Copies of this chain bind each other. A is one copy, B any other.
């Protein structure tokens, strides 16, 4: 049996979900909350298996709420519910421990699929949300033309720098002079047109070179 807590200030949502899962015998709604505060208390008391979370609550934003819930309970599954498709925040929502993302105009079957997937440890996203996530990866490809060409050695050193090694440490590891590493570093800084290793690594990471 999977117990569901609904956190949403619109009564309609609770009713709608109730109707959708009425004749699914392994699902039950164990509560409905209207504020984040109330939700936190109910979660502690009821220990639901799954939370359907409106991410635009009156007293808190969804990301923060998700984070708080996750901090309180590492097991519970969290599915975000939104009316408008605010795709921009999905990655952050996932990063804070969210497990699913649904639009409120979902079909019944979609809700059941989502609950099923999420309870099985998978992530479930609405189609548009999923597409958005993938595009985030892909978008940097547009900038690929302006990413400088790196030699094999430079890539290697970039990687080691990213792992936190210092110049001398890398030199020791690769059996070359520290001077050599510094030369490579200098070339990397120049290629990326930055002046610090920090910035170098930030940009490389953003462009998924490491």
Q: CB within 8 Å of B: which residues of A?
A: 67, 70-71, 74, 91-92, 94-99, 122-123, 125, 130-131, 133-135, 137-138, 140-142, 144-145, 161-164, 166, 194, 196-199, 201-202, 205, 207-208
Contact = CB atoms under 8 A, between A and B. Distances in A.
Contacts of A201: 198, 201-202
20 contacts: A70-B144, A71-B145, A74-B142, A91-B137, A94-B134, A94-B138, A95-B138, A95-B208, A97-B144, A98-B141, A122-B131, A123-B131, A123-B137, A130-B130, A161-B198, A162-B198, A164-B194, A197-B198, A198-B198, A198-B201
Best-surrounded residue of A95, A97, A123, A125 (most CB of chain B within 10 A): A95
Contact of A163 (B145, B197, B202, B208): B202
A141 B94 contact: yes
Best-surrounded residue of A94, A133, A142 (most CB of chain B within 10 A): A94
Given A71-B144, A94-B141, 10 more contacts: A95-B137, A95-B141, A95-B208, A96-B208, A123-B137, A123-B138, A130-B134, A162-B202, A164-B199, A198-B198
Q: Count this chain's copies in the assembly.
A: 2
B97 A141 contact: yes
A133 B129 CA distance: 13
Given A123-B135, A144-B67, A196 B164 contact: yes
B133 A91 contact: no
Contacts of A134: 94, 123, 125, 130, 133
Nearest to A164: B199
Contacts of A91: 137, 208
